[in-house]
């Protein structure tokens, strides 16, 4: 289960494209960061089953595979979460969404062999060069082989950003995000109108006709075709689990907008923000948990019975913010900010597209706690902080906020230096980028370890004060 926010280029403060998503499943699901090298002369098929994935989906390998990055599950190295390739296309997937029972009755998911979120990053990043191409290729796969589950996927490049939603086992709709708007989603189908003649939309070939034929849409009584209404689930589960997340994102970006938090079907699909969005806004949204309200499940003591599901949950295994700045070389213009574990208690670390190596700690980590993997360095800190969130979380927030601010200033300096070096030596520029990026990653991990020790000291004193075992005033 996930939450997604996408900003068109004219909806961001600096003209960049911004795509962010939290990936939520299990707090024991360690993530790695992988750089996949370009390959030539390939034959054969990609196989989900061969990697220990969820089903037996297969797809032909491209003869020449592009270099790309992913953030996969530790166990299978699949479900790549997000990444960029050397051509400049990036994607994040997937946002789990659900077809209605009526739609699945006439076009069920192809659970045994259809494409799932396990496969999307590795199948598309190795071959697609643009956002439009990525959305179209995924759509062709869904129509030809079916999807094994429902999902939404964002695609971004240097000119535009697209989002694709599945409707049923073989039906889908993709939309180019209008440049001056943002799109927010939380585990539900959000798209509504569809114009087959529009160059800003793509869909399965008989999307509307199929809905009419199978009784999912009646033009005479339903009016204009509504993709979400025809194909996707909308019931009481959305009222507290999904709608409030979309509501809070739209409220934070459009404060004057008045909407009922449980009226998700009527929320605008695209909105122009009242103040143009930034990377910091995207990070803040990924960290949101209704702080300061009665629906905050952490600030008033841990409350697992809170009905509103926040964006930042403890079982988030990573959250990311992708940025594309078309005016810069891809190596520094495309960045993924990665927060391992629960975003609210983590730090967003920049991974530049031009980074040529990844620390060993980012290729370690399983479902068992350890002291070496990057994932567990952050997860251990988060687990400890959650034992007294009101007291300990502010310490983590303050330290990570300072680190992100300092890193942002250092990034600006590094990028200026990179451009100067690149003018005379590609190798020198690449080396400078690597050194900087690896230093930032190492410093973030060290800070997490330092904070862990600080919080352990505090909790040790707390417990001693609670259970002193003193002989009156003496500790003898």
Question: Cβ distance 328 to 335 under 8 Å?
Answer: no
- pLDDT (0 to 100) of residue 1: 78
476 confidence band (pLDDT: 50, 70, 90): low
2 is catalytic: yes
Residue 193: how many CB atoms within 10 A of its CB?
14
CA dist., res. 176 & res. 206, Å (int)? 20
> DSSP label at 96?
E
> DSSP label at 466?
H
Q: Is the pLDDT of residue 435 over 90?
A: yes
pLDDT in tens, 232-252: 999 999 999 999 999 999 999
pLDDT in tens, 309-356: 999 999 999 999 999 999 999 999 999 999 999 999 999 999 999 999
Domains of the chain: residue spans and CATH: 2-360 (3.60.60.10)
- Torsion angle in degrees (nearest 10) through CA of 283, 287, 288, 289: 180
CA dist., res. 222 & res. 199, Å (int)? 25
Residue 320 tokens read as 């990311």
For residues 253-286, one letter each, b for 16 or more C-beta atoms within 10 angstroms of the residue's C-beta and e for the rest, the string is bbeeeebebeebbebbbbbbbeebbbbebbbbbb
Q: Is the pLDDT of residue 475 over 90?
A: no
pLDDT in tens, 160-218: 999 999 999 999 999 999 999 999 999 999 999 999 999 999 999 999 999 999 999 99
């Amino acid at each position: 289960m996930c939450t997604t926010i996408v900003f068109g280029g004219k909806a961001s403060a600096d003209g960049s494209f911004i795509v962010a998503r939290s990936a939520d499943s299990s707090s024991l699901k360690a993530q790695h960061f992988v750089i996949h090298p370009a390959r030539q002369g390939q034959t054969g098929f990609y196989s989900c089953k061969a990697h220990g994935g969820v089903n037996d989906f297969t797809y032909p390998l491209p003869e020449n595979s592009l270099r790309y990055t992913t953030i996969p599950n530790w166990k299978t190295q699949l479900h790549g979460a997000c990444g960029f390739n050397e051509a400049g296309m990036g994607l994040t997937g997937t946002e789990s969404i659900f077809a209605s029972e009526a739609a699945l009755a006439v076009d069920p998911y192809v659970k045994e062999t259809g494409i799932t979120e396990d496969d999307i990053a590795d199948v598309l990043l190795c071959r697609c060069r643009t956002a439009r191409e990525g959305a179209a290729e995924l759509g062709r796969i869904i129509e030809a082989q079916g999807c094994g589950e429902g999902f939404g996927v964002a695609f971004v490049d240097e000119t535009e950003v697209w989002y694709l939603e599945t409707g049923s086992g073989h039906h889908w709709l993709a939309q180019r995000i209008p440049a001056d708007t943002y799109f927010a989603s939380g585990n539900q189908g959000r798209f509504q109108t569809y114009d087959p003649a529009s160059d800003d939309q793509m869909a399965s070939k008989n999307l509307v006709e199929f809905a009419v034929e199978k009784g999912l849409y009646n033009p005479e009584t339903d009016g204009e075709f509504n993709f979400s209404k025809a194909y996707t689930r909308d019931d009481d589960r959305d009222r507290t689990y999904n709608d409030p997340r979309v509501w809070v994102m739209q409220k934070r970006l459009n404060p004057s907008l008045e909407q009922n938090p449980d009226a998700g079907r009527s929320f605008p699909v695209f909105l122009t923000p009242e103040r143009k969005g930034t990377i910091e806004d995207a990070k803040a949204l990924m960290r949101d948990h209704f702080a300061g309200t009665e629906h905050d499940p952490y600030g008033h003591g841990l409350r697992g019975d809170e009905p509103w599901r926040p964006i930042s949950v403890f079982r988030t295994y990573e959250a990311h913010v992708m940025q594309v700045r078309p005016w810069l070389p891809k190596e520094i213009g495309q960045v993924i900010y990665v927060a391992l574990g629960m975003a609210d208690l983590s730090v967003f670390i920049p991974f530049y597209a031009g980074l040529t190596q990844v620390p060993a700690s980012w290729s370690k980590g399983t479902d068992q706690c350890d002291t070496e993997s990057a994932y567990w360095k952050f997860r251990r800190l988060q687990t400890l902080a959650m034992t007294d969130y009101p007291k300990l979380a502010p310490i983590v927030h303050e330290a990570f906020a300072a680190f992100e601010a300092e890193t942002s200033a250092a990034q600006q300096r590094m990028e200026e230096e990179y451009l100067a070096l690149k003018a005379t030596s590609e190798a020198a520029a690449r080396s400078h980028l690597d050194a900087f990026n690896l230093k930032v990653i190492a410093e973030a991990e060290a800070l997490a370890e330092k904070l862990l020790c600080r919080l352990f000291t505090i909790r040790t004193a707390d417990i001693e004060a609670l259970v002193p075992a003193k002989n009156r005033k003496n500790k003898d």
